Amino acid sequence: MKKVGKTDPQKLYEDIREQAREWSQSRQEKPRVLVGTATCGLAAGALQVKEDFMREIEAKGLDAEVIEVGCIGHCYAEPLAIIAKPGFPPVCYGYLDEGLVHRLVEDFLAGDDPSYEYAMAALERNDEFPTFEDFPRGVYEEKLILEHCGHIDFGKIESYISRDGYSALAKALSGDPGRVLEEVKAANLRGRGGAGFPAGKKWESCLENGEAEKYIICNADEGDPGAFMDRSVLESDPHLVLEGMILCAYAVGARQGYLYIRAEYPRAVKHVREALEQAREKGFLGNSILGTDFSFDLEIFQGSGAFICGEATALVNSMEGKMGMPESRPPRLVQEGFRGKPTVLNNVKTFAYVPLIINRGADWFKETGTAESPGTAVFSLVGKVNNTGLVEVPMGTTLRQLIEEVGDGLPNGRQFKAVQIGGPSGGCLPESSLDVPIDFDSLHEAGAIMGSGGLVVMDQDDCMVAVARYFLEFTQHESCGKCTFCRLGTKHMLDILTGITRGEGDAETLELLKELGEDVRDGSLCNLGRTAPNPVLTTLRYFYDEYKAHIEEGRCPALVCRDLILYYIKPSKCSKLCNVCVGSCPTEAIYTRDDGLKAIDQDKCVKCDNCRKACPTEYDAVIRLSPPVLPAEKERKAK
Amino acid sequence: MQLMEGEREEILACVKEVLGENSKTNENLIPILQQVQAKLGYLPALAMEKIAEGLDAPAADVYGIATFYNQFRLNPPGKHEVRVCLGTACYMAGGNITLESFERRMEIKEGETTPDRHYSLDRVACVGCCSLAPVVVVDEEVEGKATPTRVDGIMLALEEDRENTGKQESEEGEKSGQN
């Protein structure tokens, strides 16, 4: 596409950026408080913290601004805020509450004491306080697409532009669309939705298709339980994704695109909607973008909560108002996609890398990560690990580094047991697999998949059979019902697993389970069915003994499966003076025996674990027994 | 579920309005269902029938779509909606036991609404704040670390509201009676 002559997109952009920088500089003259209000922050009470800041600042009559930003990434310490005061490095504070807010406003904003004793880290190098890069997590982390998350004001496009946002678009529009494609191909950017298909190749096939009408779709139907990377990027830095999509449209020659966002992410929808309006106002979207004859617009389509719609063909079907059932491929979407036209469908993160690659070049991108999987991987690190949160590490980092260094290990010296990677379609890897480097191919070999990036750490208190059952219950419920193997096979597998958690079955049961799993894997059309048995097959492979203990001894080694355990108060440890367990019981199952000690009425007990958690550590009298047999006692008087 | 007084008219008016705002193609079926649900809070059978008529599609297709996607609910929401997260992190932290505690206290199963429509109870796949597991969403508020012991506390606050509204209504009733 050629320029319309007079206007030079680069020049036009530079004027817009100049304005944005002026705006940004005038804003930086006074102190600012950036409160992280992504969904996880909100859940931890970020809005209250924001109100507290505003009230305290007003009470002191200070001239400071309180701004909502997205996810800062350190979810374990929510609510979080960054205070940027001229003359000081910006400092990040965690675990905020009313008292701490009061103190920070009084000492730091009104006074000049940054209260470093409450700070987590500074955000710029300085002589006074360490930055995040100085901690183990910072050493391993390398933020590419998360660079601005939590630092920019998602509600103001100027905030993005002042940091060179949309400069990749201006650069691309000054040249030939072919150069965008060449750069993305040269960077070997692989799709971040999980399968790792090269994005450049996909775009090229779409371009080569002669049709005039083409579509771009961003897949933000992040349905994996325990994963929130796409949500965080969309909520915290929406323009990065929009810019990537516009660049893609320019490369393949599309005029219309859609963002397919899950209905469970109302905040992401809101932020993207605002971002779209602002991008249109500035001329980055709509007719003749930046004065050129390239036109492209974007719309939001809200998904309706079906996990299967993360599958490309199912997603397109659902956009066309049908049930979200996958189709057999070929024809691929790039040949025949939305409304039967060639369509490029990529994940949120894939698009987010594109502006960076165009700006800094393919060679820069390939410096990070491995030869086959360049770039970074974004994970939501959750489960039994100290530093839960959103992390971005170079491809090729090992799981051990990710869990022990970035995640700071397991809390309270707990024993690592397994890591579940890739969501319900992924697998559970044991200790022995921890040195596997994280990239598309190595994880596949180990039996797991990269998936979209959910990573759940499990310890000795997690039962692998129960975990496998949980994931299978999820995929079974989400199976669209098209293929017999997936529809009936997963149901039968679920029944077997449920039986095992009750101690039913024999050696043949496990054989059958494995066989069924392999059949479902081979006999299903789409990746939901093909990967659904993964959690079961990997746990059978790595944790066979645990399955055996359930069926042969009626024992759950992790003391989780409720049909195989009972709660018992050890009389020798119980203190007569303490009533904590009685109060903690939601079903009034705990009573005081005639001798003053406590005991549990097994008929009423729902095994909620409250009494065990409530029992003071100096007694630790509540224990779980598996198999569920009450010990014989000398004195068991009537209630 | 039994329709309340005046609900039938409300449903008919709502469907008519939404159908008027959208072009009547199958591609708009999901957005239409979303809009109707946003207005009514759920998809009553009557609304689905009328939408099918409006789009000239078999009612079974509309019902199929409505039951295929998790977002659509066929039961009216309670005055207070409780949604228990059963994402991986929440499940491992005992979210299912929290759900059972709610079921016990509300005397309904997940996916149901109490007959007086005061409570509805649902499960949700993942709210996306896994570091606060187990998580419960009460109306629009996200409650972190919602262990079974917290269920009684959460229910107490909701019960107080029920008693207060009950009182107000009876007071209003008395007033209008006096007038």
Query: Does residue B178 have a pLDDT over 60?
Result: no
In a domain, B75, yes or no: no
Tell me, yes or no, if B71 comes closer than 8 A to chain A by beta carbon.
Answer: yes
Give me the residues of B, 122-141, that contact A with CB < 8 A.
124-133, 135
Q: Which residues of A touch B101 (CB under 8 A)?
A: 586, 606, 608
| Average pLDDT along chain A | 91
- At A152-177, the pLDDT tens digits run 999 999 999 999 999 999 999 999 99
Contact B68 A467 (CB under 8 A): no
Which candidate in A40, A585, A587 is best for mutational testing of the B interface (most B CBs within 10 A)?
A40
Domain boundaries, chain A: 28-134, 157-365, 376-462, 465-553, 565-625
CB burial of residue A56 (10 Å; 0-12, 13-18, 19+): buried
Query: Cα dist. A165→A288, A434, A544, B105 in Å?
Result: 19, 38, 51, 52
What was the ipTM of the complex prediction? Answer: 0.83
* Segment A503-518 mean pLDDT: 94
Residues B166 and B88 in one domain: yes
Residues B18 and B49 in one domain: yes
Q: Which residues of B touch A302 (CB under 8 A)?
A: 31, 34
* Segment A338-362 mean pLDDT: 96
Distance CA A401, CA A384 (A): 15
Contact A225 B71 (CB under 8 A): no
Nearest to A338 by CA among A351, A350, A321: A321
Write down the pLDDT at residue B93: 84
Write down the pLDDT at residue B109: 93
The CATH number of the domain covering residues in A157-365: 3.40.50.11540
Say what angle helices B7-21 and B45-55 make with each other, to 10 degrees. Answer: 30
Residue in chain B nearest A74 by alpha carbon: B131
- Whether residue A331 has a cis bond before it, omega within 30° of 0: yes
The CATH number of the domain covering residues in A465-553: 1.20.1440.230
- At A53-99, the pLDDT tens digits run 999 999 999 999 999 999 888 888 889 999 999 999 999 999 999 99
Bridge partners of A566, per DSSP, are: A625
Write down the pLDDT at residue A193: 84
Q: What CATH number matches the domain at A28-134, 3.40.50.620, 2.60.210.10, 3.40.30.10, 3.40.50.720?
A: 3.40.30.10
Write down the pLDDT at residue A145: 94
Query: Does residue A451 have a pLDDT over 90?
Result: no
Residue in chain A nearest B89 by alpha carbon: A383
In a domain, B74, yes or no: no
Q: Between these two residues, A193 and B11, which has the higher pLDDT value?
A: B11
In a domain, B73, yes or no: no
Give me the residues of A, 348-387, that contact B with CB < 8 A.
380, 382-383
Bridging pattern class, strands A215-220 and A256-261: parallel
Structure tokens at B17: 């309005």
Q: Picking from A194-203, A219-228, A296-305, which range would have the lowest pLDDT averaged per residue?
A: A219-228
Q: Which residues of B touch A338 (CB under 8 A)?
A: none
Residues B105 and B54 in one domain: no
Bridging pattern class, strands A81-84 and A622-625: unpaired
* Segment A291-306 mean pLDDT: 92
Write down the pLDDT at residue B167: 66
Q: Report the CATH number that the domain containing residue B149 is assigned in CATH.
A: 3.40.30.10
Per-residue confidence at B166, pLDDT binned at 50, 70, 90?
A: low
Tell me, yes or no, if A498 comes closer than 8 A to chain B by beta carbon.
Answer: no
- Read off φ and ψ for residue A508, nearest 5 degrees: -65, -35
Write down the pLDDT at residue A105: 95
CB burial of residue B133 (10 Å; 0-12, 13-18, 19+): buried
Per-residue confidence at A639, pLDDT binned at 50, 70, 90?
A: very low
Structure tokens at A198: 């090269």
Write down the pLDDT at residue A326: 93
Distance CA A278, CA A158 (A): 9
Could you tell me which CATH class the domain A565-625 is placed in? alpha beta
Q: How many structural domains does chain B have? A: 2
Task: Report which DSSP code applies to A404.
Answer: I
Task: Report which DSSP code applies to A571.
Answer: T
Query: Does residue A466 have a pLDDT over 90?
Result: yes
pLDDT exceeding 90 applies to what percent of chain A?
A: 73
Write down the pLDDT at residue A3: 45
Per-residue confidence at A636, pLDDT binned at 50, 70, 90?
A: low
- At B10-26, the pLDDT tens digits run 999 999 999 999 988 88
Nearest to A427 by CA among A194, A595, A101, A151: A194
Query: At the topology level of CATH, where does A376-462 sit?
Result: Ubiquitin-like (UB roll) (3.10.20)
Host H or E run for residue A547: helix A544-548
Which candidate in A382, A419, A459, A476 is best for mutational testing of the B interface (most B CBs within 10 A)?
A382
Q: Which residues of A touch B65 (CB under 8 A)?
A: 321-323
Distance CA B129, CA B80 (A): 21
Host H or E run for residue A611: helix A610-614
Write down the pLDDT at residue A208: 92
- At B92-139, the pLDDT tens digits run 888 988 999 999 899 999 989 999 899 999 988 777 677 778 999 998
- At A378-404, the pLDDT tens digits run 988 888 899 888 899 999 999 999 999
Chain B nearest CA to A318, separation (Å): 8
Say what angle helices A464-478 and A534-542 make with each other, to 10 degrees. Answer: 170
Write down the pLDDT at residue B173: 52
Give the number of other Cβ atoms within 10 Å of residue B35's Cβ.
18
CB burial of residue A87 (10 Å; 0-12, 13-18, 19+): exposed
Per-residue confidence at B177, pLDDT binned at 50, 70, 90?
A: very low
Residue in chain B nearest A40 by alpha carbon: B129
Spatial contact of A45 and A79, defined as CB atoms under 8 Å apart = yes
Distance CA B118, CA B109 (A): 14
Residues B45 and B88 in one domain: no
Distance CA A304, CA A324 (A): 10
Per-residue confidence at B169, pLDDT binned at 50, 70, 90?
A: low
Nearest to A225 by CA among A397, A426, A37, A73: A426
Q: Picking from A40-54, A482-496, B50-64, which range would have the lowest pLDDT averaged per residue?
A: A40-54
Contact B125 A43 (CB under 8 A): no
Task: Report which DSSP code applies to A339.
Answer: G
Distance CA A565, CA A559 (A): 6
In a domain, B174, yes or no: yes
Tell me, yes or no, if A408 comes closer than 8 A to chain B by beta carbon.
Answer: no
Distance CA A573, CA A210 (A): 78
Tell me, yes or no, if A302 comes closer than 8 A to chain B by beta carbon.
Answer: yes
- Whether residue A330 has a cis bond before it, omega within 30° of 0: yes
pLDDT exceeding 70 applies to what percent of chain A?
A: 98
Please compute, for residue B121, the number of CA atoms within 13 A of its CA located in the half-sphere on the CB side. 20
Residues B153 and B97 in one domain: yes
Which candidate in A39, A380, A608 is best for mutational testing of the B interface (most B CBs within 10 A)?
A608
Q: Which residues of A touch B131 (CB under 8 A)?
A: 40, 75-76, 78, 382, 388-389
Contact B88 A470 (CB under 8 A): yes
Spatial contact of A456 and A383, defined as CB atoms under 8 Å apart = yes
Give the number of other Cβ atoms within 10 Å of residue B63's Cβ.
17
Amino acid at A580: V
Residues B170 and B86 in one domain: yes
Nearest to A11 by CA among A292, A296, A294: A292
Residues B105 and B159 in one domain: yes
Write down the pLDDT at residue B172: 58
Of A231, A321, A458, the CB nearest to B29: A321
Per-residue confidence at A423, pLDDT binned at 50, 70, 90?
A: confident
In a domain, B1, yes or no: no
* Domain range for B169: 80-178
Spatial contact of A417 and A546, defined as CB atoms under 8 Å apart = no
